[in-house]
Amino acid sequence: MLSRREKAGNMAGKDVETREVLIRRAEIDKRVRAVARQITRDFKGERVHLIGVLKGACIFLSDLVREINLESSIDFIAVSSYGRGKESSGQVRVLKDLDSSIAGLNVILVEDILDTGLTLSYLLRVLRQRRPKTLRVAALLDKPSRRLKPVEANYVGFKIPNEFVVGYGLDYAERFRNLKDVYVLHLPEDGTH
């Protein structure tokens, strides 16, 4: 069992990061199953095409697709808006596009976190131009207090406070994606430890 607060990084120096469990894996599993049941009900036997936003959504997408009781296919798109820091640059650019057409498909865009809405707003605009039959959004985490664009997810795992989170696919400078729980990450310059 993990402690509620953990240290990570350089333990010998003062540049020690700490993290606190925000959402345990068991809670995540339960919500993923609930979201999958809702998608299954909403699409009533129709095929769904899930698009994972790399890299953060890969773990959520893999768990979600296995719980959806419908014919499903998947694809991935990669965008960049963060670089290596905690704050979005506000500039969104496509790093990897879809492998196949989504015209006429029931598309569910799968995101790790809905934050400012800048990335999601951009992706929805791009994907709508490709004429899917339907276009919905599933986000593991929703941080509505940070929203700059008026976008919402159709399926949300958890609403969370305005904290920087890692784990279950979410990263800080490519670290912590492999953690099973979702953690609030406190960095030394935050002055929060």
β partners of residue 106? 134
Catalytic residue among 63, 112, 115, 171: 115
Residue 115 annotated as catalytic: yes
**How far is it, in rounded angstroms, from Cα 139 to Cα 54?**
13
Helix (H) or strand (E) holding 30: helix 25-43
Q: What angle do CA 69, 71, 76 make, to 5 degrees?
A: 105
β partners of residue 79? 94
Asked if residue 35 lies in contact with residue 157, where contact means CB atoms within 8 angstroms, the answer is: yes
> What's the distance, CA 9 to chain centroid?
24
What would the 3-class secondary structure string for 14-25 be? Answer: CCEEEEEEEECH
Asked if residue 48 lies in contact with residue 72, where contact means CB atoms within 8 angstroms, the answer is: yes
**How far is it, in rounded angstroms, from Cα 40 to Cα 48?**
9
Enumerate the active-site residues.
115
